[in-house]
Structure 1
Amino acid sequence: MAGRILIVDDVATNRIVLKVKLMAACYEVLQASGGADAIASARIDQPDLILLDQMMPDMDGIAVCKKLKEDPETARIPVIIITADNDNTSKINALRAGADECMSKPLDELCLLARVRSLLRARDMSEELRLRDSTARELGFAETPASFTPSATIAMIAATPVTAMAWKTALGNTLHDKVVVIKKEQALSLTKTQNIPDVFVIACNLAKPDEGLRLMSELRSRPETRYSAVVMVIPKDANNKSATALDLGASDLMIEGFEPQEMALRIKTQIRRKIQADRLRETVRDGLRMAVIDPLTGLYNRRYAMPHLARIADHAKTSGRTYAVMVLDIDRFKAINDTHGHTIGDIVLQEVATRIKDNLRSVDMVARIGGEEFLVVMPDTHLDEARMAAERLCHVIDDRPVILAGDKGNIAVSLSIGVAMGGLHVDVRDVGQLLESADKALYCAKSDGRNQVTFSRTAA
């Protein structure tokens, strides 16, 4: 399943309609018929996202959202409030209550699914950062972040400087941050030595139609601006553009003619998330690098990998999802060292490590756990997905030899991979046993001729 979504509505027909749409997109759907049921389900089932009707007999959606956001157990679950009112007051009240979005009935399916995808992506990345931060704290390498919140920079980019200045003026004193008006060319020429905006507010249409969308794609592709939030301003009645903007990486949307209060609330939310994500990334990057990174390959080492694997297992037990554990070994690596020397052997290790990492998802963990042995852990992964990933890794190593510098030729390299699957049936304390199962599968792959993938019996 792509994610677990809780639908909250006292009208059964509304729940059924939404359920059909979401299940067609391969989401797992939970249902609650009222506010109290929603709060209980959120605490017990820990859904990935909540679709919450505003008008319910026992408790309105605003009150439910406030309670969810006040509870540490449910505060990080994204909430979309669905309202029959098509006015700015309802939207602003929902955003003030902590909702990530407020959508009016009748729901546009294209926009709804795009918003769901966007929020789930953001949640997945946030949870991965939290997971890594939690691992760092368990190892004793992370410090508690400072409580001081620095001033943020918001950049306004509109079709004309007059429009951008009007946006800035509309904010008035609602934000105590630096608001600047810049042109598209300035945004694209930013360097790391400059004050990179924390939030870009960009009009969908600049000098040309959809030029703002192309600008956002460029900003997302550049390391200087990749982690900045982007709020796109979409023309009215342009639902297809809203969906496109979200799928291209927009952090949030506003519709032309928005209220200044709405703009301020959305920007404040994006600033808060950006600062939190930056701090978590900094913790992982600086607090762990020297202690848990293998200096030769740049991958995590065993010291980091084992507690992180335990946390992934713990998360899988709570969420009910499966995950894959792979042990990978370079075939006949001793012969490479004996024939070409350890310096060449190190070059082979570095190249293999790079190819493994480049052919996996950003949420997958890759570690070097022995001389020529690697560990890959893939959270939220089914058996077929694990099989495809492992076979892909075998191919990308075997298909292309390692080229040596200075016209010294090349070295053919291959991998053997053993895979085991974890999930609800695997206790956190048994990750060592799971790793052993993957190791035994690796031994079988070696015995059966090398350069292949073998699954443990429990996984296959």
Structure 2
Amino acid sequence: MAGSILIVDDVSTNRIVLKAMLSGARYTTSQAASGAQALAVAAAEQPGLVLLDVDLPDMTGIEVITRLRADPATRRIPVVAVTTHTTPEMRLDLLRAGANEILAKPFNELLMLARLRSLLREHGTDAEFALREATCRELGFAEARNEYTSPARVAMIAAQPEMALRWKNALSQQMPDDMIEVLSQEKALARASSTAAPDIFMIEADLARPSEGLRLMSELRSRSETRDAVIVIATSPSAVESQATALDLGANDLAFTNISSPFAAQETALRLHSQLRRKRALERQRETLDEGLRLAMVDPLTDLYNRRYASTHLARLAEHALRTKRPFAVMLLDLDRFKSVNDTFGHTAGDEVLTEVASRLRTNLRAVDLIARIGGEEFLVAMPDAALEEARAAAERLRQVIESTPVQLLDGRTLSVTISIGLAIGGTTRDNPQLLVDQADTALLGAKATGRNQVSVARAGTAA
């Protein structure tokens, strides 16, 4: 459950204290007293987060985390490791195993709750994208992709350039394949607007003024190019309020300003790479969703919208027309004697003709107009805010554009094609938009019956 937290500790008093603290913050909790019980509860209840004491009687915290990460049902659940004694080596081992954070007892409640909020928020986003990706996969939209990823672009921004340079030198040894650069605040904002925006920003919380790094983070979050970048805020260990504020404002993770020791540099690099893996996983899921939506709405041959999308869009146009009292036009366009094209020149030539006609329709209509392929050689055009004369002129223009220039085939041959168009106007009453389509269809049949290669306008109230 997204807002629930599983507390794992073999000491009942510790579990009670944590439950009281989390209940006060309006979290629901469940409890486990051993590693085995924690694994069973996590798999059964799917909590939003696991708060794990690493000193358990039956297995180590690292083993619990490793087994959580190995199970597809629990691998995405954030884990906060809790310990009374921590060493740099233990922190690295826990992070490598898959812990999202390590808190040492006694922990600061302000910072702990901010960290939990941040992780639960990220988990909710991850779970939603994973669910949508699974739906696309079941519908057959998701395809296997090359998992190769290019080196990460990492920007270091500190109050003093010397500090950012020390970060770069320390991390370059741990991240040799990534591109790390030192940027000023001004250059960071300029780079954020470029196509080569960094994947990761590591920003000191206090730049020229206190909390200016947090304001820079907010600015980066507001820009489309860097909205999904990883942002890590660096502070001194004692700046607890600044750390909590950074997490609540959207920082992905925290770091300390002094990472000169090998252990500190390794931990920071592990955190950056963990966030980078999540960022790239979300990017792949977004690509899958975008492709799934495209395949669901777009005709693969012509790259025009399909009948499914057109039906939904017509309903929106009808609502708009009813609200504004401005009519919209519906055209049905059908290539004349298209069967003879396929029979004489082959289906490949027929596909080339359809693709070229679609291109000419796109070029000669407004950006707001809907163009869809709704059948083999049949197209639909819907023009919002269009009166009869404007729509009739557009239809005649399309007819002439198709007739005037033969289609050049890839094999060098040319084909002259024409198109018949049925046009209907309406939408200012509460009629079903399908009525306009039917009226346009009746007009199209009339255009075909009276010689083809012409525009026929439906009379109000006529339908097939």
Q: Structure 1: how far apart are the matches of 2:267 and 2:307? A: 46
Q: Structure 1: how far apart are the matches of 2:133 and 2:178? A: 28
3-state SS of paired residue (1:55): coil
3-state SS of paired residue (1:218): helix
Corresponding position of 1:197: 198
The amino acid of 1:5's aligned partner reads I
Alignment of 1:188 with 2:174, yes or no, is no
Gap change, CA 1:301 and 1:41, over 3 Å in 2: farther
TM-score by length of 1: 0.64
- Aligned positions of 1:60-71 closer than 5 A: 60-71=60-71
| 1:15 CA displacement | 0.5
3-state SS of paired residue (2:254): strand
| 1:147 CA displacement | 2.1
3-state SS of paired residue (1:208): coil
Gap change, CA 1:199 and 1:58, over 3 Å in 2: same
| 1:93 CA displacement | 2.0
The Cα offsets for residues 206-234 of structure 1, whole Å up to 9 and x where unpaired, read as 11111111111111111010000011112
Corresponding position of 2:282: 277
Q: Structure 1: how far apart are the matches of 2:49 and 2:132? A: 21
The Cα offsets for residues 404-458 of structure 1, whole Å up to 9 and x where unpaired, read as 89xxxxx9999xxxxxxxxxxxxxxxxxxxxxxxxxxxxxxxxxxxxxxxxxxxx
Corresponding position of 1:341: 327
Q: Structure 1: how far apart are the matches of 2:238 and 2:80? A: 20
| 1:87 CA displacement | 3.7
Alignment of 1:251 with 2:252, yes or no, is yes
- Aligned positions of 1:248-397 closer than 5 A: 248-258=249-259, 259-292=264-297, 336=322, 340-342=326-328
Q: Structure 2: how far apart are the matches of 1:26 and 1:301? A: 47
Mapped contact 2:192–2:220 kept (Cα < 8 A): no
| 1:20 CA displacement | 1.0
- Aligned positions of 1:60-209 closer than 5 A: 60-175=60-175, 176-190=177-191, 193-209=194-210
| 1:139 CA displacement | 2.0
Q: Structure 1: how far apart are the matches of 2:193 and 2:291? A: 18
Deviation above 3 Å: which 4+ runs of structure 1? 299-303, 332-335, 337-340, 411-414
Gap change, CA 1:413 and 1:70, over 3 Å in 2: farther
Gap change, CA 1:412 and 1:52, over 3 Å in 2: farther
Mapped contact 1:157–1:201 kept (Cα < 8 A): yes
3-state SS of paired residue (2:201): strand
The amino acid of 1:245's aligned partner reads A
Mapped contact 1:2–1:27 kept (Cα < 8 A): no
Mapped contact 1:251–1:270 kept (Cα < 8 A): yes
- Aligned positions of 1:39-78 closer than 5 A: 39-78=39-78
Gap change, CA 1:222 and 1:343, over 3 Å in 2: farther
3-state SS of paired residue (1:340): coil
Corresponding position of 1:367: none
Gap change, CA 1:224 and 1:73, over 3 Å in 2: same
TM-score by length of 2: 0.64
| 1:334 CA displacement | 10
Mapped contact 2:52–2:81 kept (Cα < 8 A): yes
Corresponding position of 1:310: none
Q: Structure 2: how far apart are the matches of 1:191 and 1:152? A: 15
3-state SS of paired residue (2:191): coil
Gap change, CA 1:87 and 1:143, over 3 Å in 2: same
Mapped contact 2:126–2:282 kept (Cα < 8 A): yes
Corresponding position of 1:239: 240
Structure 2: runs of 5 or more not aligned: 300-304, 310-314, 331-384, 387-426, 431-464
3-state SS of paired residue (2:208): coil
Mapped contact 1:2–1:26 kept (Cα < 8 A): no
3-state SS of paired residue (1:164): helix
Q: Structure 2: how far apart are the matches of 1:165 and 1:251? A: 22
Gap change, CA 1:197 and 1:267, over 3 Å in 2: same
Alignment of 1:221 with 2:222, yes or no, is yes
Corresponding position of 2:419: none
Gap change, CA 1:102 and 1:334, over 3 Å in 2: closer
Gap change, CA 1:188 and 1:132, over 3 Å in 2: same
Gap change, CA 1:199 and 1:300, over 3 Å in 2: farther
Q: Structure 2: how far apart are the matches of 1:412 and 1:340? A: 6
Mapped contact 2:192–2:198 kept (Cα < 8 A): no
Gap change, CA 1:174 and 1:343, over 3 Å in 2: same
Q: Structure 1: how far apart are the matches of 2:429 and 2:84? A: 61
Gap change, CA 1:301 and 1:64, over 3 Å in 2: farther
Q: Structure 2: how far apart are the matches of 1:184 and 1:4? A: 39
3-state SS of paired residue (1:80): strand
| 1:30 CA displacement | 0.6
Structure 1: runs of 5 or more not aligned: 304-328, 345-403, 406-410, 415-460
The amino acid of 2:293's aligned partner reads L
Mapped contact 1:2–1:28 kept (Cα < 8 A): no
The Cα offsets for residues 359-393 of structure 1, whole Å up to 9 and x where unpaired, read as xxxxxxxxxxxxxxxxxxxxxxxxxxxxxxxxxxx
Gap change, CA 1:192 and 1:204, over 3 Å in 2: closer
Gap change, CA 1:232 and 1:205, over 3 Å in 2: same
Mapped contact 2:322–2:428 kept (Cα < 8 A): no
3-state SS of paired residue (1:180): strand
Gap change, CA 1:191 and 1:268, over 3 Å in 2: closer
Aligned length: 324
Identical-pair percentage: 47
